Copies of this chain bind each other. A is one copy, B any other.
Amino acid sequence: MKIKDINVSSYPNSSKIYLEGTLHPIKVGMRRIDQLPTVKIKNGVRIEYPNNPVTVYDTSGPFTDPHCEIDINKGLPRLRESWIEKRGDTVILDEITSEYGKQRLSDPTLDSIRFPERNKPRQAEPGKKVTQMHYARKGIITPEMEYVAIRENLDNAERGIKSYITPEFVRQEIASGRAIIPANINHPESEPMIIGKAFSVKINTNIGNSALSSGIEEEVAKAVWSCFWGGDTLMDLSTGNNIHETREWILRNCPVPVGTVPLYQALEKVDGNVRNLSWEIYKDTLIEQCEQGVDYFTIHAGVLKAHAKLIEGRLTGCVSRGGSIITQWCVEHNQENFLYTHFEDICEILNKYDVAVSLGDGMRPGSINDANDSAQFLELDVLGELTEIAWKHDVQILIEGPGHVPLQKIEENMTKQKKACHEAPFYTLGPLTTDIAPAYDHITSAIGAAVIASLGTAMICYVTPKEHLALPDLSDVREGVIAYKIAAHAADIAKGLPGASVRDYELSKARFDFRWKDQFNLSLDPFRAKEYYLAARKSDSEGTEKFCTMCGPNFCGMRISLNIAESCKE
């Protein structure tokens, strides 16, 4: 199989710039948007006032670097490989060690769909831990930490906005567990990014096939598309065919951290028969995915056998796929959740690759009726207990959150999570603030996401218009990402992050100057903004008119404002 190159256009009037590190020889990619000058006529003389370019956070990786040759069949450059190598605490294994991985590799019927390039897996030297938390606690500032510090500050010095995030501050946040950098040593293609309350709000996107849909090529396209629009991390939630091979293609071409729910694949391995799940199958799946390079695992270790009976009292039971599977297993075997009982074992595997744990909220409410109930909050207490275990093993950790929560109950979630989980970063799905809008749940949830993120949630998981109805296609990924970029940005401004509103300022200035092109170029989706404008103003393909179709020339408030300012001066 050959996958043809994914065609992502570059952003208009934008260039890829690289900022250099001072502690490490690193280059941090960002997008610089250039602007036209502001033109004023004074006493009949045309004067141009230059407008500074705007630097924005860029998740698209090498795909938008014209100097980088992209070949999906070869994968992205291995950015972090030399950093990892230099630390000298890892070994390269002779072969992959999971049983399942070996079996897939030796199956000739898979030759046609297997990713062509092969890299041997890397692992910590015996007895070592290689997590960013481990380094941070030892006082080491890694290249990854310096990278995210530069990335978070953007490049606002010329606007008088001080760089407030230092590499040392990043190290402290990682050491304390308040932030994480998901960075599996087997996914060196990924550009470091940080998830924590003190930093800009991140968004996760979900892709993945199900038994009923979608192939490898389509999923890789969704992954690249998600990064292009602004997804900070990507979860591959595939539950269909060939998920091992699909994941390999995604990882080798994904410039952002990739997460999975290993339980899904474990269940596929036992043909969907929950009873036959076991710690051994799950463990082999963890190793398989650690060696492929997955950066974080959603693990439903907080679902306890004792909580199963709480499901019945709910309107919508247990809507977490992982949570319901594990609960069924507990009930059928009358045993405690093996993810809970083996959590220390899990941590000991993960810290050999630096895979972060994202503790799944198996009891997240599936309707606003079930929000903030005892099933949900009892699990949260268990997640707090597990957080301390993960930290004991220097494993980085996220806490997943709801779900469906009405506006008035959102704050309680954030407060309880912060207390129960010792300030480990919160990572919420939405939340959806009403149940009545299937096909528009990117909006019902963007409302909740903006509110909870402004209260301190570190990462919000996008919801697409297809939520509850079908798997998202490329167009849904775009809608979902933009809705969540909006929510995250609104929260960044509300949190008072220095420089968060620079882009708003510059876009509004462009708007007031009637620099239509700059207004488009500075927007989250320049293509659609321009498309809407041009559809109505076919004669103005250059975007030079000093009014729009909304108001027409006589009714343009901004145009009249300019006249008033002139009159006031006279």
Interface residues of A (CB under 8 A from B): 210-213, 239-240, 264, 267, 272, 274, 308-309, 311-312, 315-321, 323-325, 327-328, 331-332, 366-369, 404, 406-408, 433-440, 442-444, 446-447, 450-451, 454, 465-471, 482-483, 485-487, 489-491, 493-494, 496, 501, 503-505, 507-509, 511-512, 519-520, 522-525, 528-529, 531-533, 535-537, 548-558, 560-565, 567-568
User: Looking across the interface, which residue of chain B has its beta carbon closest to that of A435?
Assistant: B504
**B435 and A317 within 8 A (CB):** no
**B567 and A331 within 8 A (CB):** yes
**A318 and B508 within 8 A (CB):** no
10 residue pairs of the A-B complex, CB under 8 angstroms, read A211-B553, A308-B568, A311-B564, A311-B565, A319-B558, A324-B564, A332-B567, A367-B505, A434-B489, A469-B548
State whether A536 and B320 are in contact (beta carbons under 8 Å apart), knowing that A433-B490, A564-B308 are contacts in the complex.
Answer: no
Residues from chain B with a CB closer than 8 A to the CB of A272 are 553-554
**A561 and B318 within 8 A (CB):** yes
A508 to B522, CA, bound (A): 40
Q: Among B436, B440, B466, B563, point to the contact of A483 (Cβ < 8 A).
A: B440
Q: Among B264, B327, B525, point to the contact of A555 (Cβ < 8 A).
A: B264
Residues from chain B with a CB closer than 8 A to the CB of A485 are 437
Residues from chain B with a CB closer than 8 A to the CB of A558 are 316-319, 324, 366
Q: Among B436, B454, B467, B563, point to the contact of A507 (Cβ < 8 A).
A: B436
State whether A565 and B533 are in contact (beta carbons under 8 Å apart), knowing that A210-B550, A437-B523 are contacts in the complex.
Answer: no
Residues from chain B with a CB closer than 8 A to the CB of A309 are 568
**A435 and B508 within 8 A (CB):** yes
User: Looking across the interface, which residue of chain B has its beta carbon closest to that of A550?
Assistant: B471
**B554 and A437 within 8 A (CB):** no
**B551 and A210 within 8 A (CB):** yes
**B434 and A486 within 8 A (CB):** yes
**B447 and A239 within 8 A (CB):** no
**A533 and B470 within 8 A (CB):** yes
A211 to B533, CA, bound (A): 16
Q: Among B320, B328, B490, B520, point to the contact of A444 (Cβ < 8 A).
A: B490
A392 to B558, CA, bound (A): 35
User: What distance in Å separates the Cβ of A285 from its nearest Cβ neighbour in chain B?
Assistant: 15
State whether A316 and B512 are in contact (beta carbons under 8 Å apart), knowing that A434-B486, A557-B324 are contacts in the complex.
Answer: yes
**A493 and B433 within 8 A (CB):** yes
User: What distance in Å separates the Cβ of A414 from its nearest Cβ neighbour in chain B?
Assistant: 14
Residues from chain B with a CB closer than 8 A to the CB of A524 are 436-437, 440
For the complex of A and B, the 5 pairs showing the least CB-CB separation, nearest first, are A317-B561, A470-B536, A367-B508, A272-B554, A211-B552
A564 to B325, CA, bound (A): 9
Q: Among B439, B490, B493, B520, point to the contact of A525 (Cβ < 8 A).
A: B439
Given contact pairs A332-B567, A447-B447, a sample of 13 additional A-B residue pairs in the complex whose CB atoms are under 8 Å apart:
A325-B560, A366-B557, A367-B505, A369-B504, A408-B494, A434-B490, A434-B504, A440-B528, A451-B451, A469-B548, A470-B533, A470-B535, A471-B536
**A523 and B210 within 8 A (CB):** no
**A560 and B318 within 8 A (CB):** yes
User: Looking across the interface, which residue of chain B has its beta carbon closest to that of A509?
Assistant: B315
State whether A318 and B440 are in contact (beta carbons under 8 Å apart), knowing that A369-B501, A470-B533, A555-B239 are contacts in the complex.
Answer: no
**B440 and A369 within 8 A (CB):** no
Q: Among B210, B323, B529, point to the contact of A438 (Cβ < 8 A).
A: B529
A531 to B438, CA, bound (A): 11
Residues from chain B with a CB closer than 8 A to the CB of A507 are 435-436
Residues from chain B with a CB closer than 8 A to the CB of A264 are 555
**A503 and B549 within 8 A (CB):** no
A281 to B278, CA, bound (A): 83
A529 to B264, CA, bound (A): 27
Residues from chain B with a CB closer than 8 A to the CB of A451 are 407, 447, 451
Residues from chain B with a CB closer than 8 A to the CB of A325 are 555, 560
A440 to B486, CA, bound (A): 9
A465 to B532, CA, bound (A): 9
**A321 and B563 within 8 A (CB):** no
Residues from chain B with a CB closer than 8 A to the CB of A519 are 438, 468
User: What distance in Å separates the Cβ of A211 from its nearest Cβ neighbour in chain B?
Assistant: 4
State whether A508 and B316 are in contact (beta carbons under 8 Å apart), knowing that A444-B490, A548-B470 are contacts in the complex.
Answer: yes
**A328 and B438 within 8 A (CB):** no
A470 to B532, CA, bound (A): 7
Of listed A446, A468, A557, residue having the most chain B CB within 10 A: A557
**A240 and B552 within 8 A (CB):** yes
Of listed A470, A483, A525, residue having the most chain B CB within 10 A: A470
State whether A564 and B328 are in contact (beta carbons under 8 Å apart), knowing that A267-B554, A366-B558, A549-B470 are contacts in the complex.
Answer: yes
